[in-house]
């Protein structure tokens, strides 16, 4: 959906003339890092999760709210056993945190993040994608470097373009979120794409 961003990423990758990058090589690519952060923010794989309160408590609020009886609250009382939804994707894309372009795909936002993002209690990257605390994702470093390695292999060699109009693509969540088509929900998950060999790439494979 963003050929300019894809091309900028390709050019950065082609500047690293090796076929089998190490983790350090992949992490040295600054634009790839921003793209990975932005993908994980805006397409939060786990869109929400749940925790159960182990004891009674009060969750303090940044902004007080008024209930339906007109009473103002500056905290939420939680009882033992209450289920609490953690809205990962909402926090990752909230305008009051990320600014008016919160729902746009813009890797360069990571060059100058709004201060409010520092308060997000995520284990990684100013976002909730791997959540936080003692039961946060233990695989996040592996997941990020795996994603970077796949992108490094694919984007150097191929150009990707959506084969349907963007408004046809919807996100469907089971435990993780995957793409489907608005017009063909019965066909399950899919993302039709046109894929071409990237210009200036040798036929024998590899990216250089």
Q: How many residues bind ligand HEM (CB under 6 A)?
A: 12
- x-marked contacts with ligand HEM along 48-77 as a string, rule CB under 6 A: -x----------------------------
Shortest Å, Cβ 142 to ligand HEM: 5
Shortest Å, Cβ 29 to ligand HEM: 18
Report the distance separating Cα 11 and Cα 14, nearest Å: 5
3-class SS of residue 26: helix
- x-marked contacts with ligand HEM along 118-147 as a string, rule CB under 6 A: -----------xxx---x-xxx--xx----
Does 93 bind ligand HEM (CB under 6 A)? Our answer is no
137 is in an annotated binding site: yes
Shortest Å, Cβ 9 to ligand HEM: 18
Shortest Å, Cβ 147 to ligand HEM: 6
Tell me the H-state helices in 86-165.
88-92, 95-98, 140-157
What count of Cα atoms within 13 Å lies in the side-chain half-sphere of residue 139?
A: 3
What is the number of the residue whose Cβ is closest to ligand HEM?
A: 139
162 DSSP β-pair partners: 193
Q: What residues contact residue 137 under an 8 Å CB cut-off, 6+ apart?
A: 123, 130, 131, 143
Contact 76, 61 (CB under 8 A): yes
Cβ proximity to ligand HEM: between 9 and 131 the closer is: 131
Contact 198, 159 (CB under 8 A): yes
Cβ proximity to ligand HEM: between 99 and 132 the closer is: 132
Eight-class DSSP state of 156: H
Contact 110, 34 (CB under 8 A): yes
Show binding-site residues. Answer: 137
* Positions in the binding site for ligand HEM (CB under 6 A): 45-46, 49, 129-131, 135, 137-139, 142-143
Show binding-site residues for heme. Answer: 137
């Amino acid at each position: 959906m963003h050929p300019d961003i894809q091309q900028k990423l390709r050019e950065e990758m082609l500047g690293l003339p090796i076929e089998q990058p190490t983790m350090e090589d992949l992490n040295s690519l600054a634009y790839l890092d921003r793209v990975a952060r932005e993908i994980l923010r805006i397409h939060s794989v786990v869109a929400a999760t749940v925790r159960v309160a182990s004891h009674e408590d009060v969750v303090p609020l940044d902004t007080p709210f008024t209930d339906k009886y007109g009473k103002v609250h500056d905290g939420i009382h939680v009882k033992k056993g209450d289920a609490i939804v953690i809205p990962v994707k909402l926090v990752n894309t909230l305008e009051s945190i990320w600014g008016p372009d919160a729902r746009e795909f813009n890797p360069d936002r990571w060059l100058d993040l709004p201060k409010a993002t520092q308060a997000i209690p995520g284990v990684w990257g100013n976002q909730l994608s791997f959540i936080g605390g003692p039961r946060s994702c233990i695989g996040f470093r592996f997941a990020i470097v795996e994603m970077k390695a796949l992108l490094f292999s694919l984007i150097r060699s191929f150009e990707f373009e959506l084969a349907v109009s963007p408004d046809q693509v919807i996100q469907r969540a089971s435990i993780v979120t995957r793409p489907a088509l608005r017009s063909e929900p019965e066909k399950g998950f899919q993302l039709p794409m046109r894929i071409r060999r990237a210009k200036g790439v040798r036929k024998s494979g590899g990216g250089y």
